[in-house]
Structure 1
Amino acid sequence: MSTSTSTLPQNNELNEQSRKQLIRLLALILIFAVMNGTMFNVAIPDISETFGLMPSQVSWVMTGYVMVYAIASVMYGKLADMYPIRNLLTIGIALFAAGSLLGFFAPNYTTLLAARVLQAMGGATIPALSFIIPARFFPSEKGKVFGIIASTVAFASGVGPIAGGMIGGVLEWRYLFLFPAVSVLAIPFFRKWIPHEETRGGRLDIFGGLLTASVVASLLSYVTTLNPWFLILFAVSVPLFIWRMKTAEDPFINPAILADASFRTTVLTSFLGTSAMFGLIFVIPIMLRELYDMSTLGIGLMLFPGAMLAGIFGRYGGRLVDEKGSRFVVRLAFILITAGVFFISTFAGALPVVLALAIVVAYLGFPLVQSSTAGLLSSILPAEKNGVGFGLFNLFNFISGAFSSAIFGAVLDWQSVTYTLNPVAAHGDHAIFSNVFFSLGIVALIALFIFSRTFRSQETDPSFTKHEPAQREAAAEAR
């Protein structure tokens, strides 16, 4: 596979002022999109009470949103290879705002779910295209922009639950819908600052897209509900998806992308790293409530320093990608994540301030994983396929979150565990949490091993430095 980086004709290049304005706007709109996915967590009990719902019913406020969001992210990635980005963002943000207004006025739970689906259909454009825009329009400083995007995601993820608690507590859960509705004001600025693109050739494989959606939806549904019928649907959808991918003239997902070992390793690395971080974000609030009896606000304040520092450090990490290369930053990210979760495993049940410092260390790795793997993908993917490539990148990151929540949520039911796997941690009632974080550290180490082994073998290839940008980058790192 070619690894050329996408470039634009000279007349489509942005001047410095427009670049800065577009980057700021991207970061701002990402805050709306990411917080919309996290701040509703704290409102689930209030929504359940308003409509008289069982926990299994109200959970679809989050589950349905994540499922549609994940599927739409790869859809928009594919469409970005065919249609102008600013048109896709216009449609997506309009749907996002329309869903937000519908949710605010929702008279019943059915309408509320429809609003969340509409939000997800539109909101998915924002992270999906935010990673494509730097690769396409800022090739010379994409690492810096990836760093800003990743740090914004990390910051918004930490601030979301706090903002949701404050808005829902002072006003009402419905007002959470008004916050993302403001994003519609960004449309004219995106249309002004994003360069004009011509519609490119290609046919949209609708049947392949539906099969992709079936695979993703059935897998996420099974992971979140453990309903065996979804597992059967997944088992049926996968071979049909593979058949379509291999036989279609212009398949929804080009098999050549998946055949590239560098692409597969980078996406797998991101999947494992994001799984570790989502596991951290999922388990920490439960641990703080059970071991320290903290309030929702107290939990948010424990996570806030990590989110803030990740936002600051992530910007530096983007520059580090440009200076040292993506592979160096990927390794650094996994060292930080491994160290952070190992410290949490060791000090679970200790003083909260010690735990807060350990959380900060782990959080610092989050934006580095996102920015470095995105930068690496932009060098691996051919220009005409960076849309669907980044779509798959986002898709697997969403799936990793569902896997982490489901797996570690089930593990936490083993409350009788008193023996810790961590050899330097004390045994006791906190052991189940210590073991979970020890396991997250193992996941991060596995990701580091797979990544290092794959790219080290490429770096020792005598022909490695002669052709491709990604290879030249690795050779420079090796020297």
Structure 2
Amino acid sequence: MTRDKEHISNPKALLFSLCFVLMFSVMNGTMFNIAIPDIAEAFQLLPSEVSWVMTGYIMVYAIGALVYGKLTDTIALKTLITFGLIVFTIGSLIGFIAPNYLFVLVARVIQAIGGSMIPAIAFIAPIRYFPNERGKVLGIISSVMAFASGIGPIIGGTIAGLLSWQFLFLSSALIIITLPFLRKNLPDEKTEFVKLDYLGASLVAGFIVTILMAITLGQVISFGFSLVFLILVFIRMNKAANPFIPPHLFRNQPYLVTLIVSFIGVACLFGLMFSVPIMLREVYQLSTLQIGITMFPGAMSAALIGRKGGQLVDQKGSREVFLFSLLLLLVGFFIVSSTVGVPPLYLALCLIFPMMCFPLVQASGADLLANILKDRETGVGMGVFNLLNFVSGAMSGAIVGKTLDLYKPNLPINPLGLEGTGSIFSNVYLTFSLLIMIGFVIFKYFHKEEQRKAG
């Protein structure tokens, strides 16, 4: 395939279009968190029933991100993005006119089938078309993801409050307006239809579905099924002539170490995003709008730091920036752990420290993997990276949620923490800080910079 930057008619327009479509995709996930109570009320649903609006979406999205990642190695991005955006828009329109809950679920699944293409392409395009500015572009992409995650609940709450939850689907459908710009600015590439390992893909999908059901719904039997699927996945990887996921990826120590430490960092960041709204409601009794305003400075800082962080990746190297971002994240979690219970204004300022690390961790981690992977493995390698990001988010949210339900300490473990109802949250963020420290040590001593991309 033709992959050089000079074959892009307008690189800035391509980057802007990618960021715009990525923002819509990320916001589509976070906006519906706000609408869950309204959907439950509209169709008289139990919490376990309405949770499938998010759970079903996450499952299909995670599988799709890996499948699209694999396809980007052989199919033109212009083809994939056209298919994905059309399917996503169809799902959005179905959701807007949905007469019952079944149609809502079908709409969310169709959205996920189309939308899961977006993160795969968003991380592949900078690697493929911006080789000399890869770090900067990955930083911009990551900052857009972080900003959209923070602003999504505010926009979702505003739309659902002023209109209704159905209009969240309609606003998501606006993503289609980016398609002409993306098609115009993406180069024409030759598509090579290679036979996929459908059995391997099905086994991977089975593992993802069962592990996410086990994590998000607390189904113990699903852990057993996920273990069976995982064993079958490894058998298939080593037996198939052209496996869905090449097994030698996981025998590459720098790749494996980067995946593990990125998983830890992203899990802690998603755990923060999940728990802060709960903390602000329980400890500070803030309204939904006030919660969004309190988190907004952190989201803005992530958006602003992304481009600068990406430039640092290009200038200083992804390994150094990755280590620095882990240290900054460690300090940020400790600061938040020490300040839970202080006035909301001060807490909002403290939240900036860990939240600004989101694009740094994502951009430097993606650039590290791009350095390690061979050209023909970039798609599937980054697909696994995206997949683990979704799994880490689901896992951290479920674990933090269970911890908040079962653990009610009176005193914080952190000697600088404040006593009271915020003790549990102080302890959670201190735990995140310790996990990041472990990740830092693993990466520092087991990731060897001299082991680089082979070609």
Q: TM-score, normalised by structure 2?
A: 0.97
The aligned residue for residue 255 of structure 2 is 263
Which residue of structure 1 lines up, in the alignment, with residue 241 of structure 2? 249
- Find 1:192's aligned residue among 170, 184, 188: 184
Q: Choose which of 375, 391, 394 in structure 2 pairs with 1:399.
A: 391
Displacement of 1:237 in angstroms is 0.8
Aligned partner (choices 37, 53, 70) of residue 45 of structure 1: 37
Query: For residues 227 and 78 of structure 1, what CA distance do their matches in structure 2 show?
Result: 30
Deviation of 1:346 (Å): 0.6
RMSD of the alignment, in Å?
A: 1.6
- Structure 1 residues 279-288 or 233-242, which shifts more? 233-242
Closer, same or farther: CA 424–170 of 1 in aligned 2, 3 Å: same
Alignment deviations for residues 130-185 of structure 1 (CA, whole Å, 9 cap, x no partner): 10011111111111110110000000000000000000000000000011111112
Partner of residue 383 from structure 1, selected from 375, 380, 403:
375
- Which residue does the alignment assign to 2:110? 118
Q: Give the one of 284, 287, 291 matched to 1:295.
A: 287
Aligned-pair CA distance for 1:392 = 0.3
Mean Cα deviation higher: 105-114 or 226-235 = 226-235
Residue-by-residue CA offset, 1:20-53 (whole Å, 9 max, x unaligned): 0000000100110000000110110100000000
Structure-to-structure mapping, 1:394-473, within 5 angstroms? 394-414=386-406, 416-455=408-447, 458-459=448-449, 464=450, 468=452
Q: Which residue of 1 aligns with 2:330?
A: 338
420-429 or 325-334: bigger deviation: 420-429
| Partner of residue 232, structure 1 | 224
Question: Aligned equivalents of 2:355 and 2:152: distance in 1?
Answer: 15
Instruction: Name the counterpart of 2:7.
Output: 14
Residue matched to 1:108: 100
Contact 1:336 1:364 in 2 (8 A): no
Give the conservation status (yes or no) of the 8 Å contact 2:60–2:109: yes
1:149 aligns with 2:133: no
Q: Is the 8 A contact 2:30 2:149 kept in 1?
A: yes
One-letter identity of the residue aligned with 1:304: F
* CA positional deviation for 1:229: 2.4
**Aligned mates of 1:192, 1:390 — CA distance in 2:** 25
Distance 1:278 1:48 in 2: 24
Alpha-carbon distance between aligned partners in 1 of 2:416 and 2:183, rounded to the nearest angstrom: 56
Q: Are residues 9 and 187 of structure 1, via their aligned partners in 2, closer, same or farther at CA, if it must alter by over 3 Å?
A: closer
Aligned to 2:297: 305
Conserved 8 A contact 1:289-1:295: yes
Aligned equivalents of 2:405, 2:452: Cα separation in 1: 49
In the other structure, the counterpart of 1:475 is none
Change (3 A) 1:470 1:254: closer
Q: Match for residue 4 of structure 1? A: none
Residue number in structure 2 paired with 1:3 = none
Deviation track 1:233-275 (CA, whole Å, cap 9, x = no partner) reads 1122111111111000000000111111111111111111111
8 Å CA contact retained: 2:373, 2:454: no
1:231 positional shift: 1.6
- The 3 A distance-change label for structure 1 pair 225 and 468 is closer
Is the Cα–Cα contact under 8 Å of residues 414 and 432 in structure 1 kept in the other structure? no
Cα distance in 2 for partners of 1:203, 1:448 equals 40
Q: Is the 2:340–2:418 contact (alpha carbons within 8 Å) kept by the matching residues of 1?
A: no
CA contact (8 A) 1:146 1:318 kept: yes
Instruction: Output the CA distance in 2 between the equivalents of 1:83 and 1:8.
Output: 12
Greater shift, 299-308 or 184-193, is seen at 184-193
Counterpart of 1:90 (choices 82, 90, 111) is 82
Quote the Cα distance in structure 2 between the aligned partners of 1:190 and 1:347.
Answer: 44
Question: Is contact 2:32-2:54 (8 Å) kept?
Answer: yes
Whichever residue aligns with residue 258 of structure 1, its letter is F
Task: Say whether the 8 Å CA contact 1:78–1:388 is kept in structure 2.
Answer: yes
Aligned letter for 1:408?
V
d(CA) in 2 for partners of 1:9 and 1:346?
A: 48
Give yes or no for contact 1:318–1:371 (8 Å, CA) kept in 2: yes
Q: 1:9 deviation in Å?
A: 6.0
Question: CA shift at 1:394, angstroms?
Answer: 0.3
Q: Which runs of 5+ in 2 are unaligned?
A: none
Distance 1:41 1:429 in 2: 24
Which residue type is aligned with residue 353 of structure 2?
Answer: V
Aligned residues: 455
What is the alpha-carbon distance in structure 2 between the residues aligned to residue 422 and residue 414 of structure 1? 19
Cα deviations by residue, 1:349-369 (Å, 9 ceiling, x for unpaired): 112122111100111111100
Q: Give the conservation status (yes or no) of the 8 Å contact 1:13–1:195.
A: no
**Candidates 150, 162, 166, aligned match of 2:154:** 162
Write the letter of the residue equivalent to 2:61. Y
Give the secondary structure class of the aligned counterpart of 2:283.
helix
Among 339, 359, 373, the alignment partner of 2:351 is 359
State the 1:214 CA deviation: 0.4
Instruction: Provide the rounded CA distance (Å) in 1 between the counterparts of 2:425 and 2:301.
Output: 24
Q: Which residue identity is paired with 1:102?
A: I
C-alpha distance after superposition, 1:177-220 (max 9, x if no partner): 01111111222222221111112363200110000000111000
Residues 30 and 127 of structure 1 are in contact (CA less than 8 Å); yes or no, is this contact kept in structure 2?
yes
- Which structure 1 residue ranges, 5 or more long, are not aligned? 1-6, 472-479
After the TM superposition, which of the residue ranges 144-153 and 332-341 deviates more from structure 2?
332-341
